[in-house]
Amino acid sequence: MSNLDWNQLKAFLETAETGTLSAAARKLGLSQPTLSRQVAAIEQTMGVTLFERVGKSMALTPTGLNLLEHARAMGAAADALSLAATGRSQALGGVVSVSATDAVAATLLPPLVRKLREQEPGIAIEVIPSNALSDLLRREADIAIRHVKPEQPELIARLIREATAHFYASKDWVKAHGHPRSAEDAAHLPFVGADRSGRYLGYLRAHGLPLSEANFSCYADHSVASWALVLQGMGIGAMLEEIALATSGVVRVLDELPPVRFPIWLVTHRELRTSRRIRVVFEALAQGLA
């Protein structure tokens, strides 16, 4: 055990967490054969069998399951060490990763990244489009733009502003269907759905729209794809006001409904807040998004 390689331990941990060699390899940036060799090597070093193949999945053996919590503790300690080291780094250079929803990442972030690059050429921004809440504690991102306030005490968040969204349709769609103003006008009109689980439908109903699944002409669970479907005349969709104003060929509809309001939070880890380059990016994003 004294010869245990940290890369092998990460291979074990990620394979256990993701359940497949291919997913773990993508997470670690390795080829699948390399990851497979690392898993085999740690099994040989420890003299135990950690996984059993079940189809394409890797199932933990009872021994692997017993060792998983110890591996997680070691991984958490390594992450904490990395956070502490990064937090104390005062070099104004390197990569800062920023996670945001796909619409924000595709539309609002690029001009901010360009401006920041002009001001600080030593900093490179990695944009991570994700509709999930990135795990800042595990360093999946250095900074996250979120629409909910995080509850973890290790994270610090700044409320940037309250954003506003409205309902829109393409100009061609309005020519064909008219300009609906009220919730009653929308009862029999097509909408672009966000999911098939009923959550988005429930939200629209709570917002006063008397809709059913029959109103959805199509679905897209990513807002960029959903917006593209709206532009193609597939139906009515919601979008952040500044994105819609910067998009030609769309018309605001359902004008009588109240706007959709939601907060924009900028979040980072408490340790990372002491890193000079992350402070610079954090403040630049706070100013730009405000």
In percent, the amount of the chain with pLDDT more than 90 equals: 49
**What does the pLDDT read at residue 269?**
84
Q: Which residues pair with 240 in a beta bridge?
A: 165
Rg (CA), the chain: 23
Helices first, then strands: H and E counts in the chain: 11, 11
Q: What is the mean pLDDT of the chain?
A: 87
pLDDT at 260 over 60: yes
Q: Which residue ranges form the domains of the chain, and what is each CATH number?
A: 6-87 (1.10.10.10), 163-262 (3.40.190.10)
CB burial of residue 215 (10 Å; 0-12, 13-18, 19+): buried
pLDDT at 1 over 60: no
pLDDT in tens, 198-236: 999 999 999 999 999 999 999 998 899 999 999 999 999
pLDDT in tens, 5-58: 778 888 888 888 888 888 888 888 888 888 888 888 888 888 889 888 888 888
pTM of the model: 0.65
